[in-house]
Amino acid sequence: MLRRKILAALSVLALAAPAAVRAQNAGEINLYSARHYDTDRALYDAFTQETGIRVRLIEGQADQLIERIRNEGANSPADVFLTVDAARLARAAQAGILAPHGSAVIDERVPAGLRDPQGLWFAFSQRARLIMYDREKGRPEGLNRYEDLADPRFKGMLCTRSGAHPYNTSLGASVLMADGPQKTEEWARGVVANLARPPQGGDRDQFRAIPSGQCGIAIANSYYLGQYGRSDKPEDQALFKRIGVIFPNQGEGDRGTHVNISGGGLVKSAPNRANAIHFLEFMTTHKAQEAFALGNMEYPVVADTPLHPALAAMGKFRAEPVNAAGNLDKTPEALQIMQRAGWN
C-alpha cells in the first residue's frame, strides 16, 4: 500500500511541474541501467513530466551494458550508465566509457567519499550488508564482526547465498582489503564450515529461513528486510519484528559495516550531454532521494533525507568507506579464495 502511495505521489509531483518549464527542456536521454525497480521507473516518469526530457530505458546486466557501450564506441546512443555495485562503477571508469560530469550541484550534494575523485561517477543510494538473527532466541554472543562468522561456535547456523554473487564477492573483497589473503582464506573456510545448508536462493531466502530453525544467523542486505517492514501484510510485519540485525565491525577503530552503492555516470560519447547531466543532478534531489529511501528502502546519500520508519528502526551505523577501485581490484582474488573454500 505504501509503495503504491509513493508511486502515486511521484506522479502527482511530476504533473504539478509547469508546462512552460517542461517545454523549455524538451529532449531525451538514453539511460543504460542495471537497476530494475518499479520505483525507479516512476522516478524517471516524474523527471520527464518535470523537465520534458524523455527517458529511453535500456536495461541489462552491468557488465553486459559496459561491453555494449564499448562496442558501440563513439556512435553509442548511451547518455547515462547506472548500476548497483561499486566495482561495476569502477569497471565502467576503467573501461573508458565515462566522462567527468562537471556538476557543482552533484559535488555539493553528494559526500566526497561517495564520488569518484575524477568525477566519473557518484553514488545516489546505499545498502548495508548485515548479519541477521532470531530475536526470540536473542543476539548470538560473540557475533560482532564479519570475521566472527567463521567462529566455530556458530557451526551449522549460517545461511547465505552463493559466494559468487556480487553482494558476497564485494564483501569478500572488503575482508581481503582489511585482513589480507591468508586471513581471508581462513575466514572463508570458517564460513563454509559454519553453513547450515549449501548456499542457495537470494538474500530474502536467508533470513526467511531463520524462524523455521533452518538457520540461526544469515547474511543479507538491509533493504530486503526493510521491504518487509514497509509491507502492509501482517505476516511480513511479523517477520520484520522477528528478525534482529547486527551492523558488523562497529567497534572503536574498526572499519565499519560494509556498504555497496547504486550510482551512475555520464557516458563519454553522450549525444545528449546537457540533458544527461540534468538527469544525474535530478538523482540527487530530495524528491529522488526520498524515492530511494521510502520507496526502495535504500539509504540515501544526501543529508537530511528522511528514512522510512522501518529502516530507521533497524538502527544507526558507521559505514565502511567506499573503495570502488580497490573492490574491483580485489574481487577476482576474493572470488578465487571463496571458491577454493567451497563457498560456491
Q: Which residues are annotated as a binding site for Fe cation?
A: 36, 223-224
Q: Cell digits for 273?
A: 550531454
Residue 218 CB contacts under 8 Å (≥ 6 apart), including other chains: 131, 132, 133, 158, 159, 160, 206, 207, 209, 210
- Is the distance from CB of 139 to CB of 316 less than 8 angstroms? no
Enumerate the known binding-site residues: 36, 223-224
Task: Report the C-alpha gap between 295 and 291 in whole angstroms.
Answer: 5
Please answer whether residues 58 and 30 qualify as being in contact, where contact means their C-beta atoms are separated by less than 8 angstroms: yes
Q: Cell for 28?
A: 531525451
Q: For residue 107, which amino acid is it?
A: D
Cα–Cα dist 287/47, whole Å: 10
CA 56, 51, 17, 304: dihedral to nearest 10 degrees?
90
Q: How far apart are CA 236 and CA 106, in angstroms?
A: 37
Q: Of 343, 306, 327, 189, give the one whose Cα is nearest residue 263.
A: 327
- CB–CB of 272/79 below 8 Å? yes
Tell me if residue 241 falls in helix, strand or coil. Answer: helix
